[in-house]
Amino acid sequence: MTGSWDKGHGSAVESRLEGLTSWDADWSGLRVVVTGIGVSGFAAADTLIELGASVVVVDASVSERTEAQAETLRIVGAVDVLLGPDAVQSLPRVEGALPDLIVTSPGWRPDQAVLAAAARRHIPVWGDVELAWRVRSRRGKKTAEWLAVTGTNGKTTTVGMAESMLRAAGVKAIAVGNVGTPILDAIREPVEYDAFVVELSSFQLHWAESLSPLASVVLNVAEDHVDWHGSYESYLADKAKVYRNTQKAAVYNVEQVETERMVEDADVVEGCRAIGFTTGLPGLSMLGVVEGLLVDRAYIEERRDQAAELASVKDLGKIAPRHTVANALAAAALVRAYGVEPVAVREGLRRYLPGDHRIQPIASVGGIEWVNDSKATNPHAAAASLAAFDSVVWIAGGLSKGVTYDELVGRHASRLKAVVLIGVDSSELAAALARHAPNVPVIPVEPGETGGDQPEGASIMDDAVARAAEVAAPGDTVLMAPAAASMDQFTSYAQRGTAFIDAVRRLVEGQAHSKE
Q: 240 near 170, Cβ under 8 Å?
A: no
DSSP state of 413: G
Is residue 276 a known part of a binding site? no
Helix (H) or strand (E) holding 276: strand 273-277
DSSP string over 57-79 = EEES--SHHHHHHHHHHHHHSSE
For every residue of 12-50, DSSP letters joined together read HHHHHHHT--STTS--TT-EEEEE--SHHHHHHHHHHHH
> Residue 506: exposed, middle, or buried by beta-carbon count in 10 A (0-12, 13-18, 19+)?
middle
327 labelled binding-site residue? no
Tell me: is residue 498 an annotated ligand-binding position. Answer: no
**Residue 230 assigned as binding residue:** no
- Is 288 annotated to bind a ligand? Reply is no
Show Cβ contacts of residue 362 under 8 Å, excluding neighbours closer than 6 positions: 370, 371, 372, 500, 501, 504, 505
Asked if residue 278 belongs to a known ligand binding site, the reply is: no
The answer to whether 153 is annotated as binding is yes
| Beta strands 293-296; 286-290: pairing state | antiparallel
CA torsion, points 216, 222, 223, 229, in degrees to nearest 10?
A: 10
How many whole angstroms separate alpha carbon 516 and alpha carbon 513? 5
Quickly list DSSP for 466-487.
Answer: HHHHHH--TT-EEEE--SSBST
- Quick one: which of 356, 355, 370 has its CA closest to 497? 356
Instruction: Name every residue whose Cβ is closer than 8 Å to that of residue 512 and which is 6 or more positions away in sequence.
Output: none
How far is residue 268's CA from residue 250's CA, in Å, rounded to a whole number? 8
Q: Which residue in 108, 106, 127 sits closest to 116, CA to CA?
A: 108
Cross-strand partners of 312:
293
Q: Binding-site residues for ATP, please?
A: 151-157
Q: Binding-site residues, please?
A: 151-157
